[in-house]
Structure 1
Amino acid sequence: MAHPDRPAPADTRDVRLLSVGTALPGAPVDNLALARRFGQSPQWAEWVDLFVGTRTRHLALDLDQGTHTHTLADLATSAGLRALAAAGLAAGDLDALVLGTATPDLLMPGTVNIVADRLGLDQVPTFQLQSGCTGAFQAIALGRQLLRAGEHRTVLVIGGDVCSRAFDLAADVSALPPEQLVNAMLFGDGAGAVVLSADPVPGAPLVREVFTRLVGLGQAPGQTLAWFGPNDRPDGTPAVSEDYKAIEARVPALSAEIYHELLHRLDWKPDELGYLLPPQLSGRMTTRISEVLDNPSAAEISVVTTTGNNGNGLPFLQLEQLLPRLAHGERALAIAVESSKWIKAGFALEGA
């Protein structure tokens, strides 16, 4: 049984975050473009901006043609190559590859193995974790544990999603119930990657803590993403459904729990934080969460208003903004809440 109030045991094997790389498909798509595609008025676009707080997003599809332009493997490979280049490494320097996603391109082969093939990797362990907004945190946690176990020196961790695969571009959005309509506003596509290392690389931030924890025992899912075979799709069952009211009610409180747990586990004080990377469901939700966390000493790193919620790509987009700013001794916390079956996750970095 896990004890969330008990600090994690000390480990002398440090793990460092060497670099980050990201990939976004195409140009930003604003709310007016969405309104035009769905046959809605400019007032609808203004309502999206007010209700969701997200102005633009990047989509792996051509809205006019209704065709997909990028796969998750495309974006993940690009992000991975950029992270490797930023670390001054080649794919041959890697000991393992980990991918976190809720939207793999196929059930088999795993998208992680398609990415490995494109990177030229072979004879290395590969892991694919399927999860929603905390999948990137789970992937980082696994990468860190692989390094701390002592058998590996360098791991590439990737997270990303192509949420637009679930879009029904022919849908009459004016007739959709809120739990389906909200998905057309919230989500975008993208991927990111980090290189983690057990080597004492000067200047590379230390990954001080990572945790993920299921907290949804006996509770209804806040989000579902269905998979259908050719013969088992029930009539009228939506591919994606979101209980946005439940998410609004629960995510700020869960975020506060993660925030305080990380501080407790690390014995850090709130005023010692330089940066805070809050959950990125939407611009509006990020504002609500930040108000609950109420830490004016920590600069907020938030990108969702311009990138949309691209799931497991988002933490890496936040890290891309954080790393150039994180000075020696400065501390940062990142928080994520997954509503699919309610998972809490967080990680902590310290500048070196």
Structure 2
Amino acid sequence: MTGREVYLRSAASALPGTAVDNAALAARFGMDPLWEQWVEVFIGTKSRHLALDLESGKLTDSLADLATEAGGRALTAAGLGPGDVDAVVLGTATPDQLMPATVNVVADRLGIDGVRSFQLQSGCSGAVQALDVARQLLLGGSARTVLALGGDVIARFYDLDTDLRRTAPAELVNYVLFGDAAGAAVLSLDPAPGAAAVRTLFTRLVGLGRAPGAVLEWFGPADRDSDRPAATEDYKAIEQHVPRMTGEVLAELLDGLGWQPGDVDLLLPPQLSGRMTRLITEGLALPGAEAVSCVDEAGNCGNAIVFLQLEQALGRLAAGRRAVGISIESSKWLKAGFALEGV
């Protein structure tokens, strides 16, 4: 593996439909204007994209639809075709089906065949896990070009008949926090104009003895009538642990590379909610770094969010400019970080 350099050649995203703002959500669920103000102040997310028609309750896009669109855009941006791809990796918490794996459906739609494929079941840090697997395949010499994908369609877990006025906070927050999207990135051993070198990248489970901070249930025929909520979020635990973990990841990235805080030009912070992301960014003490954030407008779209950030960041990484990205997953607590440098 000595001497190999991995390059991020391109990044792209796909969001379903038009943005759904807080007023539209309030109107759909019969909430009063005070609820809309609460979302703005305490959550800080203005809008999100949903793969769901709020009036009919029907899904408008599958994860495979969105991931295929994002993957095609990433390959086009990299100047590559399906025959150039040696492996495909997808990170998601919400595959369309248990089988076939959504990654294989996407590969088929893109015309990719005869390659390795991997689907990682994970929360939002699955995006970095997908990048990690892609990088390891490249460093190990079994591939020259890998398509990494990430995305989630969380709106399929919405119960549109729920009375939000009587919903517990751990469930209520999901209706305003999340959005749907997919993203993609092309990683390669071959540099190209506009590419960025992946200087370091890691993911690490740190959930020993910790209760899950987020739960997304799967219901089969035997328990479909369970009274367990489909999704819950321990927002208080997230507010307590994520800022500290983010600081730890940043310190590890900088120490490992020998970079100083002033060396960072772009910061891709965790994308939990508009309010949380702003608080975390302010607490990192990187005054010279420009924050790359999209959660205010796109919502927390799970495994897609890092790719949305990369899409924005890549064009700003001129030669010598540096970026660090951090992702913290609360489901069973994972830390993830990466560093890029324009070449």
User: Is 2:150 the partner of 1:159?
Assistant: yes
Could you list the structure 1 runs, at least 4 aligned residues long, displaced by more than 6 angstroms after superposition.
Answer: none
CA RMSD between the two structures: 1.0
C-alpha distance in structure 2 between counterparts of 1:247 and 1:309, whole Å: 14
Q: State how far apart, in whole Å, the 2-side matches of 1:25 and 1:203 are.
A: 27
Q: Which residue, 89, 92, 99 being the options, matches 2:90?
A: 99
The equivalences for 1:160-239 within 5 A come to 160-233=151-224, 235-239=226-230
Matches within 5 A, 1:1-352: 11-233=2-224, 235-352=226-343
State the Cα distance separating 1:42 from its structure 2 match.
2.1
> C-alpha separation between the residues in 2 aligned to 1:11 and 1:262?
20
Q: Which amino acid letter does the alignment assign opposite residue 226 of structure 1? A: E
Per-residue CA shift, 1:223-267, capped at 9, x if unaligned? 000101111246320010110000000000000000000111111
1:11 Cα deviation from its structure 2 partner: 4.0
Of the structure 1 ranges 305-314 and 193-202, higher mean CA displacement relative to structure 2 is found in 193-202
Q: Which amino acid aligns with 2:212?
A: P
Alpha-carbon separation, structure 1, partners of 2:246 and 2:285: 12
Using the size of structure 1 for normalisation, the TM-score is 0.96
My pick for the range that moved more, 188-197 or 40-49, is 40-49
Identity over aligned pairs, percent: 61
Distance across 2 between alignment mates of 1:227 and 1:191: 21
Identify unmatched segments of 5+ residues in structure 1. 1-9
| Cα deviation digits, residues 92-129 of structure 1 (max 9, x gap) | 11000000001100011100000011011111100000
Runs (5+) with no aligned partner, structure 2: none
Which digits, 9 at most, give the CA deviation of each residue in 1:294-351, with x for residues without a partner? 2101100001000000001111111111111111101100000000000000111000
- Following TM superposition, by how much is the alpha carbon of 1:285 offset from its aligned partner in structure 2, in angstroms? 0.6
Q: CA deviation at 1:64?
A: 1.1
Q: Distance in 2 between matches of 1:42 and 1:203?
A: 46
Shift of 1:159: 0.5
TM-score by length of 2: 0.98
Cα distance in structure 2, aligned partners of 1:190 and 1:103 = 11
Amino acid at match of 1:28: A
Note the alpha carbon deviations across 1:116-151, whole angstroms, 9 max, x for none.
110111111000001001000000000001001112
- Name the amino acid aligned to 1:156: L
